[in-house]
Amino acid sequence: MLALGSTPAHAVDEPESGPIEQEVSVTLDTDSAASDTVACTYRAEKPNYSAGKMTGVGGIKSCSPHAPFSCNSESEIEWYNPGPGRWLTVAQSSRQFKCPPPYRTTSAAFSCEYRSTDPLYSYRTRVIGSVYYGETANANVSGSVLKARCL
Q: What is the pLDDT of residues 108-122, one digit of tens each?
A: 999 998 888 989 999
Query: Rounded to two decimals, what is the model's pTM?
Result: 0.84
- Per-residue pLDDT band for 12 (boundaries 50, 70, 90) equals very low
Whole-number pLDDT of residue 35? 81
Q: What is the CATH number of domain 20-27+35-148?
A: 2.60.40.10
Q: What percent of the chain has pLDDT over 90?
A: 72
pLDDT tops 80 at residue 11: no
Contacts 24+ apart (CB under 8 A), 86-91: 87/15, 87/124, 87/126, 87/142, 89/126, 90/54, 90/123, 91/54, 91/56
Tally the C-alpha atoms within 13 A of residue 107's C-alpha that lie toward its C-beta.
7
